[in-house]
Amino acid sequence: MATSAYNAFLSATTEPTPLPSEELTSARSTWQGVHGGGNTLVDLLVRDEEERATLMKEAQHLKQIQLSARQLCDVELLLNGGFTPLIGFMNQEDYDGVVENMRLKNGVLWPMPITLDLSEDKFKAIYVGQKVLLTGSGLPIAVMTIESKWKPNKVREAEKVFGANDEAHPAVHYLFHTAGDFYVGGRLQGIQLPPHHDFVKLRKTPAELRAAMQESGWGRVVAFQTRNPMHRSHREITVLASRESEANLLIHPVVGMTKPGDVDHYTRVRCYKEMMRHYPDGLAMLSLLPLAMRMAGPKEAVWHAIIRKNYGATHFIVGRDHAGPGNNSQGQLFYGVYDAQELVRKYADEIGIKIMDFKMVVYVKERSAYFQEDQVPQGCSVLNISGTELRRLLYKGQDIPDWFTFPEVVSILRQTYPPRSKQGFTLFFTGLSSSGKTTIARGVQSALLEEGSRTVSVLSGKKIRGILSSELGYSKEDRDLNVKRIGLVASEISKAGGVAISTAIAPYEDARQTCRDMVCKNGGFVEIYLSTPLEVCEQRDRKGIYAKARKGMITNFTGVNDPYEPPKRPELTIDTSQVTVTAAVKHIVQYLVTEGFVAVATEV
């Protein structure tokens, strides 16, 4: 990078981290100890002004590596000591030890690989002993000295760390479809923590949080992990844990990366702030954890306990199915519901933290109180609302009972999750050419415009190709990028409360899933698979495109010389060789009425 450009680049950095106060130094070095048997939190930020200036000058000549969102989360906890005793991304020896037996090379317990993954071209461009500049959001974050580089056995990592090479697991899917194929490891010298502009006062580093707890006179501290909104049952569990441990309470939710589809952290933190009003004064403190979760169940729970130890907790609540990702590809839970509690208990003494584990808490109607499920009085009826049921109530605009949560929390959730009748949504038609996508889409558009509650935009495959994707060909990569662009536009339309109707062929399942994930952050998504047989589509082809493909005049034509992957779980499947257009449109509109997207059906 040219010097003038680099100076402009450096001018965007945040102010240098000030030298720690006496209180922070005390909290970092003595209070409650740290993981690994020492008494000092790792602090990788270069705090001496002269040393920092030298590092910044050196950085202008270094090769840059732009960090992903997940890598930024890892770097932040490496730099601020949350990952004590790690002093950088793991080298190969530490990685191998962690994968095989949950231990670093020096024998210290550590259950999760913390590695910097790179693409092949970036991997080949660096060498052991080289220094590189890690950047995020256009800012210099840290200088890394490469100590080792290697190509990992990802299948082995998936099996040993996550329990199975099953891409239904979000971390395994990330491992094979998002992460680079090569790893590098090495020591870090921190220039600055990744900047945040939301809930800044709640984002305390381990040293800052320890200092705040010291200042408040806290001795014992029980930490509570969550990635979901908190309700009355969570308050009951945390108060019970506080009472049993005779400890103050640290509400320590993850606001980095959680499971795809989780409630966004902006909504959750607003809920947490309201929840804090329902604890006695001085009992609890709220602080945010910038962690990228792996959803690794039992091993993740051990990891969480280690991190909370570093943040100053003496006790840690481990919940039912802690950090579980849900079901595997066979429809079974990846981990047993109490496996996490058992594994953390095994290592609790080594970590130096007391484990508080509880059974599921349920509401007992006759007693108007919460009980652990194994302590419910005989003959009493139990009430509970699952996450799925809560979403259904929100989407239907139905009342959420006071026994389940607090009115302030309901109000916040309704802002983010309005009833489906007020949400935008996307109708994603997929199927072979001439299967009927455009014709049926036009019919649905007319019906929705007659209903009149939303704007309706049709994203035809032909128009998108001609405008947004005019430079793309028909390779799998280009087709996937075209579908992702459709997903981006559809998500923005849905976010604004409108209806997007997509009619692209979209032949590949992964790209359709990406599109679904993008839209579902902002509204509803209805995949409509037109399963019309290939021979029928060929008979309908007035332009003779299928015939040209059969003769080899057109290549990469879906259904002839390029594959079509049928959707695995579409909301609707329609074979237009068996039903009329009018019947198909009526079926789709009725589905929208039943699911609450459309309040009143129109005559079709």
Q: CATH number of the domain at 334, please.
A: 3.40.50.620
Calculate the alpha carbon distances from 202 to 210, 257, 309 in Å. Answer: 13, 17, 18
Give residue-wise pLDDT tens across range 169-201. Answer: 999 999 999 999 999 999 999 999 999 999 999
CATH number at residue 430: 3.40.50.300
Is 373 a member of any domain? no
Question: Is the backbone peptide bond immediately before 85 cis, with ω within 30 degrees of 0?
Answer: yes
Of 170, 190, 210, the one marking the end of a domain is: 190
pLDDT of residue 9 exceeding 60, the answer is no
CA neighbor of 519 nearest in space, from 489, 544, 545, 541? 489
Tell me: do 221 and 151 sit in the same domain: no
Q: What DSSP designation does 278 have?
A: G
Q: How far apart are the first and last CA of the chain?
A: 62
Are 215 and 207 in contact, with CB atoms under 8 Å apart? no
CA atoms of 229 and 227, how far apart (whole Å): 7
| Predicted confidence (pLDDT) per residue in 429-471, tens digit | 999 999 999 999 999 999 999 988 899 999 988 888 888 888 8
Q: Give 556 or 333, the one with higher predicted confidence.
A: 333
The token pair at 58 is 């050196």
Do 318 and 340 share a domain, yes or no? yes
Would you say residue 309 lies in a domain?
yes
- Tell me which of 190, 224, 250 is where a domain ends: 190
The yes-or-no answer on residue 226 being catalytic is yes
In angstroms, the CA 281 to CA 284 distance is: 7
Domain ends where: 164, 190, 216? Answer: 190
The neighbour count for residue 604, using CB atoms within 10 Å, is: 18
Alpha-carbon separation of residue 30 from 83, 183, 431 (angstroms): 17, 34, 64
Give the side-chain half-sphere CA count within 13 A for 337: 4
Residue 31: per-residue pLDDT: 54
CA distance 82 to 73: 11
Dihedral-angle region of residue 185 (phi above 0 means left; psi in -120 to 50 means alpha; beta otherwise): beta
What number of helices (H) and strands (E) belong to the chain? 22, 19
Q: Are residues 352 and 276 in the same domain?
A: yes
Looking at the fold, whether 223 and 178 belong to one and the same domain comes out as: no
If asked whether residues 17 and 129 sit together in one domain, one would say yes
Q: What's the pLDDT band for 475 if we cut at 50, 70, 90?
A: confident
80, 135, 205, 226: the catalytic one is 226
256 DSSP 8-state letter: S
Among 140, 137, 135, smallest CA distance to 13 is for 140
pLDDT tens for each residue of 328-377: 999 999 999 999 999 999 999 999 999 998 778 889 999 999 988 889 99
Can you tell me the distance from the alpha carbon of 604 to that of 598, in angstroms, rounded to the nearest whole number? 14
Please report whether residue 261 resides in a domain.
yes
Question: Has residue 481 been placed in a domain?
Answer: yes
Report yes or no on 15 lying in a domain.
Answer: yes
Q: How confident is the model at residue 204 (pLDDT cuts 50, 70, 90)?
A: very high
CA 429 to chain centre: 27
Asked if 513 and 261 count as a contact pair (C-beta separation under 8 A), the reply is no
Angstrom CA distances, 35 to 54, 311, 360, 495, stand at 31, 10, 29, 44
Same domain for 155 and 35: yes
Asked if residue 228 and residue 81 are part of one domain, the reply reads no
Q: Is residue 381 part of a domain?
A: no
pLDDT in tens, 250-302: 999 999 999 888 889 999 999 999 999 999 999 999 999 999 999 999 999 99
Is residue 242 located within the same domain as residue 114? no
If you count them, how many residues does the chain have? 604
Residue 57 belongs to domain with CATH number = 3.10.400.10
What is the full DSSP assignment across 152-164?
A: --HHHHHHHHHSS
- Residue 143, burial from CB neighbour count under 10 angstroms (0-12, 13-18, 19+): buried
- 324-358 burial, b at 16+ Cβ within 10 Å, e below that, comes to bbeebeeeeebbeebbbbebbeebbeebbbbbbbb
179 lies in the same domain as 205: no
Active site residue 25: no
For residue 71, give its domain range: 3-190
Concerning whether 405 is annotated as a catalytic residue, the answer is no
- The percent of the chain in helix, strand and coil, each rounded to the nearest 5, is 40, 15, 40
Residue 496 falls within a domain, yes or no? yes
8 A C-beta contact, residue 495 and residue 424: yes
Whole-number Å distance between alpha carbons of 501 and 493: 10
Q: Which of helix, strand or coil describes residue 454?
A: coil
Which of 17, 25, 165, 228 is flagged as catalytic? 228
Distance in angstroms (rounded) separating the CA atoms of residues 309 and 406: 31
The residues near 177 (Cβ < 8 Å, ≥ 6 apart) are 167, 510
pLDDT tens, residue by residue, 297-328: 999 999 999 999 999 999 999 988 899 999 99
d(CA 415, CA 82): 33
pLDDT of residue 602: 52
Task: Tell me how far apart the alpha carbons of residues 115 and 95 are, in angstroms, rounded to a whole number.
Answer: 8
Judge if 19 and 124 occupy the same domain: yes
Total domains present in the chain: 3
Is pLDDT of 241 > 60? Answer: yes
Query: What is the model's pLDDT at position 7?
Result: 42
Q: Point out the catalytic residue in the list 203, 210, 227, 512.
A: 227
User: Do 559 and 429 have their domain in common?
Assistant: yes
Query: Which of 447, 444, 441 is CA-nearest to residue 429?
Result: 441
Residue 185: inside a domain? yes
* Least confidently predicted of 14-18, 151-155, 568-572: 14-18
Are 430 and 520 within one domain? Answer: yes
Model pLDDT, residue 4: 38
Strand ranges across the sheet with 361-364: 369-372, 361-364, 382-383
